[in-house]
């Protein structure tokens, strides 16, 4: 009698077998029982083995079917593990690094230093915000790379790695969307807000950070997708 567990593991592939040992065990049990059943009916060992092995004609297809079937129950968990949790890591890294830069470089003082801020053609608050954007954009490739890396480790596909990397930007954009109406309502009557600044703000706070995060994730995109872990 062959070592059925070894046989099933080899046929399904080492990576799949490592990720789904319970499936290997279950299929092994089925083949063993089939074999013993056939032996009990008087078939020779060779014939019983051949009939048991005929249970699967295409192991690669079976592996794909099993993966698809398993994905059904873990789809949400898989998305959480490969997109949203890595995204949180990316966001935490981005905000943490930014905070570190502001705390240790004295950049916070520069932000409101008129010798620096007057170089920009915006009102005072926007100037400060723009200078604040520089370290933010500078740390984002690292944050994006970290998010994409964690996503890859969790079995994230290239698209999921990019989304995970972009989560810090989603946080900023979401906050901006919430704050924008308030800012407009308060700022326009006081002459502190102008729609003329909107394109520049979108460029500095949405487009550039998104590019920086995506750039950070790029080296991780060519890596082969790992099998997703079961939840």
Which residues form the interface with other proteins (CB under 8 A)?
Answer: 22-23, 25-27, 29-34, 54-58, 61-62, 65-66, 68-70, 72-74
Rounded distance between C-alpha atoms, residue 154 and residue 164, angstroms: 11
CB of 8 or CB of 131, closer to other proteins:
8
User: CB 133: neighbour CB atoms within 10 A?
Assistant: 17
* 79 closest CA partner among 167, 168, 142: 167
CB of 61 or CB of 99, closer to other proteins:
61
DSSP 82: I
Closest approach, Cβ 30 to other proteins, in A, equals 5
CB of 69 or CB of 179, closer to other proteins:
69
Closest approach, Cβ 48 to other proteins, in A, equals 14
CB of 30 or CB of 39, closer to other proteins:
30
Give backbone dihedrals phi and psi of 9, rounded to 5 degrees, phi first. -60, -45
Contact 56, 210 (CB under 8 A): no
Residue 157 region by backbone torsions, left for phi larger than 0, else alpha for psi between -120 and 50, else beta? beta
Closest approach, Cβ 46 to other proteins, in A, equals 19
Number of residues that make up the chain: 231
Closest approach, Cβ 1 to other proteins, in A, equals 13
Give 62's contacts (C-beta < 8 A, 6+ positions apart).
12, 56
Closest approach, Cβ 69 to other proteins, in A, equals 4
CB of 27 or CB of 150, closer to other proteins:
27
* 66 closest CA partner among 22, 36, 108: 22
């Amino acid at each position: 009698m062959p070592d059925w567990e070894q046989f099933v593991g080899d046929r399904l592939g080492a990576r799949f077998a490592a990720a789904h040992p319970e499936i290997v065990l279950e299929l092994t049990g089925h083949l063993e029982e089939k074999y013993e059943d056939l032996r009990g009916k008087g078939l020779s060992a060779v014939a019983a083995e051949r009939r048991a092995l005929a249970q699967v004609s295409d192991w690669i297809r079976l592996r794909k079917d099993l993966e698809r079937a398993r994905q059904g129950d873990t789809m949400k968990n898989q998305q959480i593990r490969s997109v949203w949790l890595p995204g949180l890591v990316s966001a935490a890294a981005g905000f943490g690094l930014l905070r570190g830069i502001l705390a240790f470089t004295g950049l916070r003082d520069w932000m409101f230093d008129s010798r620096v801020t007057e170089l920009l053609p915006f009102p005072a608050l926007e100037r400060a915000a723009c200078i604040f954007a520089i370290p933010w954009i500078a740390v984002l490739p690292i944050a994006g790379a970290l998010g994409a890396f964690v996503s890859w480790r969790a079995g994230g596909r290239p698209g999921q790695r990019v989304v995970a990397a972009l989560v810090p930007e989603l946080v900023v954009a979401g906050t901006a969307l919430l704050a924008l109406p308030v800012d407009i309502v308060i700022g326009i009557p006081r002459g502190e807000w102008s729609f003329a600044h909107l394109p520049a703000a979108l460029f500095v706070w949405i487009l550039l950070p998104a590019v920086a995060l995506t750039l950070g994730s790029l080296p991780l995109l060519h890596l082969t997708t790992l099998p997703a872990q079961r939840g």
